[in-house]
Amino acid sequence: MFKRIIPDEFVESIYEIDYNALQRNGIKTIIVDLDNTLVESDRLDATPELISWLDQLRGMGFKVMIVSNNTRTRVSRFATPLRVPWIHSARKPLSLAFKQALNRLETSPQETVMVGDQLFTDILGGNRLGLHTILVAPVSKVEGVFTKVNRLMERVVFRWMKQRGMLGWEEKK
C-alpha cells in the first residue's frame, strides 16, 4: 500500500548524497524541491554552501532543476540568480510538472533523481514516474499549514514502515 511513498534513499541533507554513486548508476539529472530541502522556507536567497554545492554538481556534469509547489515569485526569485531552471506551482505529487522537467532537461526517468523533504509530494511524485528518489530531513521546522498536515501523515507512515522492518534509517526521521 505504501510502496509508492518509500524513498530509495534517506540522507540528512543534500550535502550527504553520494553524487559519484549516482553518476556510476547512470544518473545525469537532479530534480530538487526548494523549501526545506535546499533552504529554509523563509530564506529568500541561497547560502554560500548551496552555491558551492550547485557549482560542484555542474562541474560533475549534472543538470539541476528546481520543481516546487510554491509560487512563481518565490521560486523565480530564488532560482533565477543561480541560473537554475525551475517549475513553480508544480502540484506535486501529480505527474505533469515532473514530465515537464524531464522534457525541458531532455532526460529520462532512469537518468533522473528526485530529492525532497516530503513523502507525499516529492517522493510519491518521483516514484510515480520511476525516478530514483532521495528523502532528506527538512532543514527547518518552519512550515506552512499543508506541510504540517503532511508531516502528521508522514509520522503514521514511518511508524508503519518501522513495524514492518522496512526502514534502515528510522532513527533519523
For the segment 141-145, the average pLDDT, to the nearest whole number, is 63
* Peptide bond connecting 109 to the previous residue in cis, omega within 30 degrees of 0: no
Dihedral sign for Cα 85, 55, 124, 173, please. negative
SS3 of 148-173: the string is HHHHHHHHHHHHHHHHCCCCCCHHHC
pTM: 0.85
Domains of the chain and any CATH numbers: 3-172 (3.40.50.1000)
Q: What value does the mean pLDDT take over residues 21-30?
A: 98
At 172, the pLDDT band (50, 70, 90 cuts) reads very low
The one-letter amino acid at 22:
L
CA pair distance 65, 22, nearest whole angstrom: 16
